Amino acid sequence: MGATGAGSDAEMIALAVEVLQTVGLREFTLCLGHSGFLENLLTAYGLAPQDKVNIKALFNRKDFVSLKEQVHMLPLSDEAKNNILRVPTLRGGRAALQAARELMPTEQDVSPLATLEEIWDVLEEYGVTEYVTLDLGLVRLLDYYTGMVFEGYTGGLGYPICGGGRYDQLLENFGPELPAVGFAVSLDYLLAVLARQKKLPVMADPVFVAYDTDGRAAAVAAAQALRSKRDRVIVDVTAATEKEAQTRAVAHGACRLLYYSSAGGKEVELQENKGGAGC
């Protein structure tokens, strides 16, 4: 928050690359565009507001068959229609920006393309352009984006695993009038991809911590100590006898039971679950 310019935009994209690499992905692409490019092109051709909304929605869904039908219904010249339909082909490296400039009518605002070129320059210095593809047809439907936008894709998944961009006018709705840039990762999609690629770590079976009416304080302290060591711990929520605790622990898939009472703590091996990943 508070930062503007290509440097902060590029840093956010480079951070997204680092996040995806850190969790184990090696083959992915971040598609990079700008919310202003298509908007300026459609405005230059005089499209009505609702027509622009409809066209952008089709770009967002990547429904290029319906896009062609919709564009040919517009009261535009053949050149204008063809230029709009060429936008999805404006993908790749720096050369895509020059091709995009050639589509814009004379004297129209091409500052979004200049911004993307600056961002690309910085991304080259970060050394991450092999993971980035310029995509001038990229549209994110959330209307608070004011500049660059990006989405991350990987093989075998038809949905973006991450996405974000610049939203310089969003924060003023909540108080401070500050420019901002950011992104989010879809944990559901990311976990699905990592599971399919067998890159998720093997999860140890949990330790079940239980107590009788006098042992809760000791049980809670033991659970906190185990969690500080990154152990998986399930703490029973009600007092139980040792036999009841064993039944509950087995039901939760635990391989160990730590039981606390007025007599102290004891560890109980659960034979029913012995042989699990963490047992």
pLDDT tens-place string over residues 113-154 = 999 999 999 999 999 999 999 999 888 877 777 888 999 999
Where is the domain boundary, 196, 220, 254? 196
Residue 67 inside a domain? The answer is yes
Looking at residue 241, its pLDDT comes to 93
Residue at 145 is within a domain: yes
Asked if residue 141 and residue 213 are part of one domain, the reply reads no
Shared domain check, 236 and 175: no
Between the alpha carbon of residue 199 and those of residues 26, 163, 167, the distances in Å are 11, 22, 34
Domain boundary among 175, 196, 217: 196
**Residue range(s) defining the domain that contains residue 248:** 207-273
User: Are both 135 and 39 inside the same structural domain?
Assistant: yes
Question: Which sign does the torsion angle of CA 53, 55, 61, 66 carry?
Answer: positive
Asked if the model's pLDDT at residue 274 lies above 80, the reply is no
Query: Are 169 and 226 in the same domain?
Result: no
- Count of residues making up the chain: 279
- Check residue 244 and give its pLDDT: 94
Closest Cα partner for 42 from 89, 131, 132, 104?
Answer: 104
122 and 189 within one domain: yes
Q: Say whether both 190 and 225 belong to one domain.
A: no
Please report which confidence band the pLDDT of residue 66 belongs to, taking 50, 70 and 90 as the band edges: very high
> Quick one: CA dihedral 82, 87, 89, 93, positive or negative?
positive
Q: Say whether pLDDT at 278 is over 50.
A: no
Which segment, 102-106, 167-171, 183-187, 267-271, is predicted with the most confidence on average?
Answer: 183-187
CATH code for position 50: 3.30.930.10
The predicted structure's pLDDT at residue 155: 84
User: Which range among 11-20, 148-157, 179-188, 226-235 shows the weakest confidence by mean pLDDT?
Assistant: 179-188
d(CA 232, CA 202): 12
* Predicted structure pTM score: 0.72
Does residue 78 belong to any structural domain of this protein? Answer: yes
The token pair at 137 is: 């047809």
For helices 35-44 and 78-86, the axis angle rounded to 10 degrees is 170
Give, for 172, the enclosing helix (H) or strand (E): none
Predicted pLDDT at 169 = 54
In a domain, 278, yes or no: no
**Are 181 and 115 within 8 A, CB to CB?**
no
Tell me, yes or no, whether 175 and 211 share the same domain.
Answer: no
